[in-house]
Amino acid sequence: MVDGDDILAAHRRIRDRVEATPTIRDHGLSERLGRPVHLKCELFQRTGAFKPRGALNWVRTATRDELAAGLAAVSAGNHAAALAWAAATAGASVTVVMPQGASTAKVEATRALGAEVILCGDINAAWKRMEALVAERGLTLVHPFDDPRVIAGQGTVGLEIGDQMPGAGAILCPVGGGGLVSGLAIAVKQRNPAVRVIGVEPEGAAALAHAWRRGGPARLGSVTTCAGSLAPAITGDNAYRLSRAWVDELVTVPEATIARGVRHLLGSAKLHAEPGAAVGAGALLDGTVDGLLPPEGEIVAVVTGGNMAAAELRGFLPDDPG
């Protein structure tokens, strides 16, 4: 499991290579809610998303044998690029299996960082292909959201929010597998237990909420969402247990709300955020979390990444009247 000391150790371990990303005021959302709303801009992180925090912490705590075997990952893209970047600092090879429909920008970025990328079916098929590769090649699997070393690294986002926003009353965090929201919640709430941590998932890929209802991880039959970075078919045991212990609320948002969040961040906040990064902004715009916010304190929405190709971006822009 992971505790605050693990996250502090991760912070010391990775801070020479990982950016301390800014937290900026979102004026449009602040006006809507009548209280300060801020955006934690992890899209400015190395490789364009928060994932290098966990990947670098994993690599820097890996054994020689783990690295020498070659690293392996299943990813919609952000973890893949982050692991390729982190592994390069240790001279380790990386093999990644990504779903066939993964963002072309993320596939190209991961290959450019030196990883072997294999495209295979949907996320369930990608996991099966990776399991076969691990068995065939003896690779070391680096889980994108359930490895304790990865979770501890992701938790450093929460440490930074605590330093930057000591008056925060609530933090909205996008949820895919649950590693980020778990690590963030530990870091934040061990410093100030009163802060409410709210996870936000797409309705069509709510793997963590599914686990909460079932009393443990259970695979979704299918995932359907424009937020590819938040679309695992199942959470993990560690993410499940930690999120149940530390996260206050989980909410889900429909595709229209995600699209609204993307358009808001592009147009009002001037941030090139990918769909999975915009679920918190969307939930604030649509009032999904109005009844869950504490009466006092500033609100922070984590903007987790900005890796979106031009073709994907066009799908969120209004038609050109000209």
Each residue's pLDDT expressed in tens, for the chain with a length of 322 residues: 899 999 999 999 999 999 999 999 999 999 999 999 999 999 999 999 999 999 999 999 999 999 999 999 999 889 999 999 999 999 999 999 999 988 888 999 999 999 999 999 988 899 999 999 999 999 999 999 999 999 999 999 999 999 999 999 999 999 999 999 999 999 999 999 999 999 999 999 999 999 999 999 999 988 999 999 999 999 999 999 999 999 999 999 999 999 999 999 999 999 999 999 999 999 999 999 999 999 999 999 999 999 988 888 888 876 544 3
Task: Please state, in angstroms and rounded to a whole number, the distance separating the CA atoms of residues 263 and 163.
Answer: 29
Residue 151 to residues 6, 17, 42, 140, 165, Cα–Cα distance (Å): 9, 18, 16, 17, 21
| Residue 310 confidence (pLDDT) | 82
E strands, 2-110, are 23-25, 37-41, 71-74, 94-98
Domain segments of the chain as ranges: 4-50+149-314, 52-145
**Looking up tokens 């070393």, which residue turns up?**
149
Output the pLDDT for position 103.
Answer: 84
Please compute Rg for the chain using Cα positions: 18
Per-residue pLDDT of 201-243, as tens digits, reads 999 999 999 999 999 999 998 899 999 999 999 999 999 999 9
Report the pLDDT value the prediction gives residue 306, as an integer from 0 to 100. 96
pLDDT number for residue 118 = 96
| Cβ-based burial of 311 (10 A; exposed 0-12, middle 13-18, buried ≥19) | exposed
Helix (H, G, I), strand (E, B) or coil at 15: coil
pLDDT at 312: 82
Q: What is the H or E stretch that residue 281 is in?
A: helix 279-286
Which H/E stretch holds residue 212? helix 207-214
The whole-number pLDDT of residue 318 equals 65
- The model carries a pTM of 0.95
Query: Helix axis angle, 179-191 relative to 237-246, nearest 10°?
Result: 30
Q: Is 4-50+149-314's fold the same as 52-145's?
A: yes
Ramachandran angles phi, psi of 40, nearest 5°: -85, 110
- Separation of alpha carbons 158 and 61, rounded Å: 20
Tokens 């206050």 belong to which residue?
248
Q: How far apart, in whole angstroms, are the C-alpha atoms of residue 138 and residue 64?
A: 14
- CB neighbour class for 195 (10 Å; exposed up to 12, middle 13-18, buried from 19): buried
CATH for the 4-50+149-314 domain, from 3.30.70.1400, 3.30.465.10, 3.10.20.30, 3.40.50.1100 = 3.40.50.1100
The pLDDT assigned to 190 comes to 95
**272: DSSP letter:** -
User: Which residue reads 């929405």 in tokens?
Assistant: 301
Q: How many CB atoms lie within 10 A of CB 68?
A: 13
Report the percent of the chain where pLDDT is more than 90.
90
Going by CATH, does the domain composed of 52-145 fall within 2.60.40.3080?
A: no
Return the structure tokens found at 199: 């996870």
Task: Give the number of other Cβ atoms within 10 Å of residue 294's Cβ.
Answer: 13
The predicted structure's pLDDT at residue 68: 97
Task: Return the pLDDT at 319.
Answer: 56
Q: In angstroms, how far is CA 283 from the centroid of its own chain?
A: 16
Residue with tokens 């996320």, as numbered in its chain: 123
In 203-316, where do the E strands start and end?
249-253, 298-303
Residue closest to 9 by CA, chosen among 182, 152, 190: 152
**Among 192, 259, 191, 270, which residue's Cα sits nearest to residue 24?**
270
